[in-house]
Every structure is written in structure tokens, then in C-alpha cells.
Chains A and B, each alone.
Chain A
Amino acid sequence: MPAHASAAAPPAPVSKRSLLEVTDLSITTAQTTLVHPTSFTIAPGERVGLIGESGSGKSLTASAVMGLLPEELTATGSITLAGTEGDLLERSDRQIARLRGLNMSMVFQEPMSALNPLMRVGAQVAEVMRIHRTQSKTDAARRAIDLLGLVQLPDPQATARAYPHQLSGGQRQRVMLAMALANDPQLLICDEPTTALDVTVQRQVLDLVLNAVTTSDTGLLFITHDLAVVARVCEKVMVMYHGEIVEAGATEQIFTDPQHDYTRGLLAASDLTATDDDGRLFTIATARAYDAARLSRARFTPPEAQVTGEQQVATASGTANDPGAQEQAPLIEIEGLHKTYQRTKSGLFSRADTVDALTDVTLSIRAGQRFGIVGESGSGKSTLLRILSGLEPLTSGYVRVGDCEIASASQAQLRAMREELQIVFQDPFASLDPRMQVADIVAEPLVAMGVPAAQRREKVSETLEAVGLDACSRARYPHQFSGGQRQRISIARALVCRPRILVADEPVSALDVSVRAQVLNLLTDLVEDYELTLVFVSHDLGVVRHLCSDVVVMKDGRIVESGDVASIYDHPQHEYTASLVAATPTLAAALDERAG
């Protein structure tokens, strides 16, 4: 390191003003450039957001600052951090390791896998102090417990003795935060820290981050694809697109008066309350017609947004409100549904405990309805879907899909029912067989039905076209497609046998906002063209509000509230619904809060 010290840029005048200074950072592989020369600074105590879609280079930029880039990538340019000598990029792993966790620390996206599963969390928090010798062994253990209390974990003493698998995702993310804050770093980098969390937990964790950085004047680099989150947390925003920062500025300015086309597109696509002339969500391509200033106006005239929402509902439920449709028997009927699981026995002689996954669930869905099911993880949404599709037996109650009564149906009847009811799953990466060609994946339900090959080919082409994939994608494999395209393949597979009911289990929660808008528009189109009944399961209230006419809210296996979307969202009766609505980040609300 002394060898580089003399070569370092004269930092004295700059370091007084800025905490982190990134100059002409570019990140390359042997073949391509992933991040084009990028410069930005973060002042002490400043909260800067870095937004963009997956693959835009956000995380790579943060990794370069931390010295955590994968070996096969090269970073050039310079990065200086106040209070440290020289260029961080010039440091060896050993030299930059001394700064990690001490001068700068990072919280990662994956709460489930980011902690060592074999180590108690208290020890993991204490370790970061022991590595840098900022505390003695006993003091580190004591301070670890204090820190766990600081991030508002219940019973810090007991939590310190717990292993990661004994904590929930939100709790683990708090542990990560406690670890990151342990040595009072000057710079905190958060990479999508709340993306995997439920909205109410997300809100709490964001508050913690905000509180921690403001009280200790820590600089924050906050990476996310969620514009509403960034608007809530950051005072400055940088927009990254294809490895370049295309726009940067104050949060209000970026979100109300975006200059770059991409920023405008991102903004339009994330705004689920705005639709174009055809009643479709804006995409990057159609964003020119989007009026970004509506967000700032919405805060002075809030009813406007609601009117848009209600219009949406009126068109969406148009067929369902038809008096003729009302009299028909519902297409799906669930009454008094219970589902209990046996937990594996914990001792030889102890009785197995039972877990109530669903308690007294009653709902009915009419033909042509767009029905939303909303709830956080563990609320029983997925169990309900599995029972509905006959994939899992029910404990008691009555479930009917079309003419098929699930509890007493034979295997043949269930098979026939599944031709009527098709599912699109959440994970577009895991739910397609990687060794099958697209045409075969899409044709699979038809094979099961015994449709002859020639007819299959025809139907597959037809459906692929309907979901917006061209004919040459037939012979390709899933890994050759992006997340959004894969979700189109999943939708094609579900629609190829012309079901009456389409069940979508969080189909857009793994997608970028710009892609999300496209897939949601596609679903809207297909529901109209194919006259589908849509059952849409999501934790995202905004998406459900846009897409569905009616909604049930689930918590701990029970339906706590049900009704049409407008009344549920605008006048929630149950306190859980109200807290869910309040915790859901929206751009308008976040900007409103900033202004207030």
C-alpha cells in the first residue's frame, strides 16, 4: 500500500466536503463493459438512491466500492473514501478488508441466505467488532445484544442465542443491519434490503435504516428498483440504465420532472394508478404520454387519483356487474374451508402439533370476475391456491370449481377440472423445465389432454403469438429468455388449453417494474380476449388494485376483509387492511411526506 500512497489523488480539499467520491468508475469483463465510466459523490450524512432495473449495474457499482467484485471483473477509475488514504480500487483484498465493516458496511438483499446458518446471530454481530478489534471479547458480546435491541428485535438476549433459521426474513434483515451498524461506519450501502420482505416489515426496516443514518450522520447509498421506497428514504436519486447513470438529482425533481426518457418510462411504469387512453398501464415504450407532474398534483388534489382508480374498477368489473351475470351460480365456491398441517413430531412420545393454515375460509367467484387475494407471507394464500387446483387435500369444508367438487372428486375429475383451471407461478426461473424447448413446454397441457400433434403445433403457435412471443422462440430453451419473457411462456402454457379460469400466483413480483407493466397489460388483454375468470394472488396491493375488481385480504389463514377494491382500499374496515394499505409504499405518498 505505501507504494500507492504517493500516487493517490490529493484528497485534502475534496474529502472535507464529500464522504465517497467515485470518479470514472467502469467495470468490465474480458469481453464487455458492464458499467460505463460513472462518477458521483456522497456527502457525509447524505442519503442517495441508486435505481434501475436488474442488470443495469447498480449492485456492481456498490460491490466495486466495497471491494467485493467477482474476480473475473475489473474495475478502473478511482474511488476515495473520506478518512482513508488513496484509491480504494488500488487496494489489495487484505487492504480493503480492513475498511469493510469499519469505515463502510453493506446490507444485502437476501435475508434468508446472508447469515451463516451454523453460527448464533449474537456471535455473528459480535464478530464484526472482533475482526476490527473495536471491542474486547466480552464488550463485543454485550454490545451485540445492545445492537440487536437497537434494531428493535424482540428479547435481544434470547435473539443473540438464536440461529438464523429460527428468525423470520425481517428479523434476519434487522440482524444484518445491526451488523452493518456495529462499528459506526461513515458509509452504509443497502442493496435492495427490503425487496424480499412483506410491506409492513419493509416499512419498519426502512424506518430503522433512516433513523440509524440520520442520528449518526452516516452517508447512505441505497440501491433499489422500487421508486416509492427510494422516494421515502433518499434525498438524492441516481438513475442507472445499461451501466450508465443517465440522470441524477434531488428526489422531488427526478420524480416530478424527469429529463431522461428512461426515467420517465420507469416512473410511468411504476405508477399503477395511471393508465393510457386504452386503460392500459404505461410501459417504457408508451411513457411519452405519461404526465409525471400528476404525482405532485395528486398530493394537492388527492381525489383525482381515486377517480382514476374507480374508473378502472368500473371497466374491469363491467361484465360482472351485468345483472344477468349476478344471477348465475358462482364459478368457484368455497365455504367453511379448513386446512391443518401436522408438524413433524418433536419428540418420541410428544404429540404432533397441528398448524392451522386456513381457518373458515368462505368466498365465491363469479364467471368473468377478476378476483384478487392479498396477504403477506404465511397468510395462507398459496395453500388456498393449492387446494383450489386440487394439488393438496383439504381438511374440512366445501370447495367447488365449475362442476367439480374438490373434496370428493376422483383423479379423472380433478384432471378434467385442471383443464378448466390453469396456474401461472411466481418464479419464472424455476417453474420452467430448463431442458425442454419452449414449444414443448407450452404444448405439455395438450399432451396430457391427448390432443393430436398437428393440432398441438397450431395451438402452440397461436398462443405464443397471443402472449407476444414470435414464432422463432418455439425451438429455444428457457434460459435464453429474460424474466418477463419467461413469464409470457408460463402464461402461454396456462392458456394453451383454453381454460375458463386463470390462477396467477404472484406472477409479477419477481419482475422489474418496466416488465411488470407489460405483463400486467398482457394479462388484462388476455382476460378480455379469452373471457377468463382471473384469480390473482399477490402481496402487492397496488398491482391488485389495478388488475382486480374484487379482493379478499388474508391474514394468518383467515379472510379478514372482502369487497370491491375501491371500498377496501379507500375505506378499509379491518385494522390489518388499514395497516397494509398504509405500509404499501406509493410514490405519491412518499413525495407527499417529503413535502410535508
Chain B
Amino acid sequence: MAGYLIRRLLQFAVTAAAASVIVFLLMQVLPGNAAQVALGTNATPEAVAQLERTYGLDRPLPVQYLDWISGMLTGDFGTSYVTRAPITPVIADSIQVTLIIVIASMAVALLIAVPLGSLAAVFQKRTLGTAISAASQVGIAVPNFLAAIILIMIFSLGLGWLPSSGWAAPIEGFGRFLARLALPVLALALVQAAILTRYVRSAVLEVMREDFLRTARAKGLTKTQALVRHGLRNAAIPVVTVAGIQLATMLIGAVVIEQVFVIPGMGSELVRAVANRDLVTVQGIVMVLVVLVLLLNLIVDLLYTVLDPRVRRAA
């Protein structure tokens, strides 16, 4: 088990390192460097070379890469050539916002999907099951931003219950925080819930056919008791896989949602940096997103070993 943990962590480190090389090289492939961008199209070659020297862009690529990577490892993402401000505080602030939205959305999505999916499986051939399946089908077809707009129309413009945009940190008052969190989280969660409901439904259906559920009933449990006590944890295994993958796509979904609700998360920072051609900031944010996705995969893999003793032995 300890061996597995070490191996998995090593794997994580190697993948992250490889990803950092790719991210770094991609930024180099883009035409124009930070010096040219900063000086505009009319700059003389001498002025550009001068600025390149100041930024250290004239050094060999491996040196620049090592400089960047060692900085990140010590928590220094460098200085933006556009805003002249250090990047680290920008990332540190925005990542909290994005993580709050994504994790809250996944929690809400699971809270909706697990009971609905289980009900859809248990009442598979009856009206309730069909209705849930149909609703989730519709939910899957709705893109995040459309869900966001519809929610704003209903709850902000229509009913006036919730603000349509903006962000408040928890220390500014928990009520304010929740009010501004609700709509973006719902916009992300509803679509996710629709997707996950389908997976929960098929996982529960699968488990209901298992022989050990019949055994559980033969021991004296009713159908529902057998499903709750023996079925759900077994059904959780495939659902965790999907939820892990979905978390990664939700990070991307958050980029769009933050735009719609004008929230200062990673997505907004990324879009702003791209618009400003602030390459160093883009590079930093993309790298952080990559590491987050890898981290989520790692957590999912470790969750398996908690859930499933068979994986534990193979591990």
C-alpha cells in the first residue's frame, strides 16, 4: 500500500514535469515574445533586444525553463510583463474562488445525482424512472452558459432573489458569499447532475443484477435495504471514476461561468491574460490548471483503494 502511494506520487510528479515542458514550449511556439508584445509593432529591433536582455529572454531556452520551474516550486510565478505586477498573488486569489465554485458544484451535483439516479434505477420501468431519465437527457443537452443565463433570468431578473453577478469572499459576510455563490454553482451543478444521474442509474442497475444482492436478500433484507447496505458502495466505484473525469471538465466549465457571472476566478484571469497577451501569466495559470487536474486524478485513484479492497491488493 505504501509502495503504491509512492509509485502513484512519483507518477504524478513525472507527469506534471512533462506537462510543464509542454506548456513552456507551447508558449515559445507562439509568434512574438513578451518584449515585442510590450513594445508594440513599431519598436526597433534594438529596443526589442534591449528589453529581451532586461527580461532575460535572450538566455537559452533550457535556462529560461529551469528559471521558471524553480520559481514556481518556491511559489514564485514571476512578474507580468504587461502589468509589471507579480503573478503569484493573482493566481493565489483566483484559484480559491475557482476551487470553491468547482468543489461546491460537484458536491451539489452528487447530492442531486445519487438519489435521482438510484430512484431512476429502482423505478426503471415505471413513470418515475422514465421521467428522471428524460429530465437528465434534457439536462445533458443544455450547455453551462445557457443554464447560467436561464438561472439569471429566473432568479435575478424575474424573482429578484439573487444577484446576477459579482463575488464576495466569506469574510465579507457568509450570507453575501452564499447569495453570490448560489447561481454560478447551480449553473455548473445542474448540468453535471444530469450527466452523473445517468451514470449513477446505470451503475445501480448493474449492481441490482449482482448475485450478492440476492444473497443479501436471502439473509433477510428487503430489496431496498439490500440495495442501500450492499449495493450503493459497489455502485459508487464506477461513479467515482466518472466524477473524477467530470471534475476536470468542470474546471474548464468554470472558465465560462466566471465570465457570465463576472467572478474573479482563474477563468477570468486566464481570459484577461490572453486578451492582454500576457504570456507569462497565461503560462502560469495553465500550469496550475494542469496540476489541479492531475491532482484530482490522483485523489480519485487513491479513493479507489479506499472503496475497493480488490484494488488495494493489486496496489
Contact = CB atoms under 8 A, between A and B. Distances in A.
Interface of A: 66, 68, 93-94, 97-102, 105-106, 108, 110, 113-119, 127-128, 131-132, 163, 165-166, 176, 179-180, 344, 346-350
A242 B102 CA distance: 59
B123 to A, nearest CB: 11
Interface string B118-149: 00000000000000000000000000000000
B26 interface: no
A106 B220 CA distance: 11
A131 B219 CA distance: 8
Interface in B53-99: none
Contacts, number: 84
B3 A349 contact: yes
A315 to B, nearest CB: 44
B220 A102 contact: yes
B217 interface: yes
Given A114-B211, A118-B307, A98 B220 contact: yes
Contact of A106 (B2, B218, B313): B218
B272 interface: no
Contacts of B215: 108, 114-116, 176, 179
15 contacts: A68-B214, A101-B219, A114-B212, A115-B212, A116-B212, A117-B309, A118-B234, A118-B308, A119-B230, A163-B313, A165-B309, A165-B313, A179-B219, A348-B6, A348-B10
Contacts of A344: 314
Contacts of A179: 215, 219
Interface of B: 2-4, 6-7, 10, 210-212, 214-223, 225, 230, 233-234, 307-310, 313-314
Contacts of B221: 97, 131
B311 to A, nearest CB: 10
Contacts of B10: 348
A292 B308 CA distance: 53
A93 B216 CA distance: 13
Contact of A116 (B2, B3, B230): B230
Contacts of B309: 117-118, 163, 165
Given A106-B218, A118-B233, A118-B234, 7 more contacts: A98-B220, A116-B230, A117-B234, A117-B310, A163-B309, A348-B6, A349-B3
A188 B220 CA distance: 14
B210 A128 contact: no
Nearest to B2: A347
A100 B234 contact: no
Contact of B218 (A100, A132, A166, A348): A100
Contact of A163 (B217, B234, B307, B310): B310
Contacts of A176: 215
A93 B234 contact: no
Given A116-B234, A117-B234, A68 B217 contact: yes
Contacts of B211: 108, 110, 113-114
A114 B218 CA distance: 11
Contacts of B4: 347
Nearest to A102: B220
A296 to B, nearest CB: 38
A132 B220 contact: yes
A68 B212 CA distance: 13
B238 to A, nearest CB: 13
Nearest to B223: A93
B129 to A, nearest CB: 13
Q: Which 7 A-B pairs have the closest CB atoms?
A: A347-B3, A101-B220, A113-B211, A101-B219, A128-B219, A163-B309, A131-B220
